[in-house]
Amino acid sequence: MKKFFSVLTVLLFAFAFPQKFDNIQSGETLNYRIHYGILNAGTATLTTLKTTYLGQPHFYVKGVGKTTGAVRAFFKVEDVYESFINYNTGLPSFYVRNVKEGTYTQHFETVFNHNNQTLILTDKEKNTSRKLNSVKGVQDMLSAFYYLRSLDNSELKVGSVKKLNVWIDDEMFPFQLRVVGTENISTKFGKINALKIVPQVISGRVFKDKEGVTLWVSNDRNYVPLLIQAQLAVGSLKASIDSYKNVKYPLNFTK
């Protein structure tokens, strides 16, 4: 469970680029309840604020994950992710990953230069920096989530496949997401129609196989993640929406 909440972040925050975030408003907050097997394991929160970074309009997005209850007693997790996402390009400018998972800690900061496809990675614990080559349109773990939510509904229809490169830790990983259908799912707020998405990720890093994960997002212009289920190398993970605030369009739950 060394990187327990890294798994959650990949899933939650892993949901051409000149798209504005017209369907996401400043002040949006999404809260999730996490279960590891039968255990009530923790919480995760995403907050969004429109701001200015280097003189340009950006979304400042913060993701916080932590273990709770009995799980926290033997495996304490306090993860913080931050990203400044250019509002006009949909690309990240600055990204922070500051995680504490048991005895494992990591604090990275990444500055992206999309003009020459490079990035500067700073290890805050070791006080070292290095310049690395990147690729066109690279996303970080938070910006990938908002890029996908900004897509038009014609780009997330059933049968569509979206590919993107995501910067995780200190490496680049290719992701592919397939929209496999629609389903009515149950939540604490009632039933709601959702798009069913299967992410394909690198095998052997976290998941049992490339299709061990299923993600359901609201089948509307919000594309809010509602439920995630994943088979991990050890055990299973489930994250479900627990509360939400300032979502731009109504979420149409039915009893």
At 51-75, the pLDDT tens digits run 999 999 999 999 999 999 888 988 8
* Whole-angstrom distance, CA of residue 129 vs CA of residue 200: 31
Predicted local distance difference test score (pLDDT) of residue 14: 47
Q: Is residue 248 part of a domain?
A: no
Beta strands of 68-170 (E only): which ranges? 77-86, 92-101, 104-113, 118-123, 128-133, 139-140, 161-168
Are the beta carbons of 151 and 90 closer than 8 angstroms? no
Mean pLDDT of the chain: 88
Q: Which of 14, 22, 16 is nearest to 63 (CA)?
A: 14
CB-CB neighbours of 54 under 10 Å: 9
Q: What is the pLDDT of residues 158-176, one digit of tens each?
A: 999 888 899 988 888 888 8
Say if 250 falls within a structural domain. Answer: no
**254 inside domain:** no
Whether residue 255 is contained in a domain is answered as no
- Number of helices (H), then strands (E), belonging to the chain: the values are 3, 15
- Which whole number is the average pLDDT over 94-110? 96
pTM of the model as a whole: 0.87
Is 251 inside any structural domain? no
Which pLDDT score is estimated for 128?
98
Residue 28 resides in a domain? yes
Task: Specify the length of the chain in residues.
Answer: 255
Q: What pLDDT is recorded for position 207? A: 47
Task: Return d(Cα 159, Cα 141) in angstroms, integer.
Answer: 24
Residue 33 in domain: yes
Residue 77 lies in a domain: yes
In the chain, how many domains are there? 1
Which residue do the tokens 């279960």 mark? 35
Neighbours of 163 (CB within 10 A): 10
Identify the domain containing residue 186 by its residue range: 4-243
Per the structure block, which two tokens stand in for 236?
């299973």
Task: For 11-55, write each residue's pLDDT tens digit.
Answer: 554 453 334 688 999 999 999 999 988 889 999 999 999 999 999
Residue range 187-231, pLDDT digits in tens: 999 999 999 998 876 555 544 445 578 999 999 999 999 999 988
What pLDDT is stored for residue 112 in this prediction?
A: 98
CA distance 76 to 67: 6
Q: Cα–Cα distance between 114 and 93 in angstroms, integer?
A: 8
When comparing pLDDT for 106 and 12, which is higher?
106
> Which amino acid appears at position 121 of this protein?
L
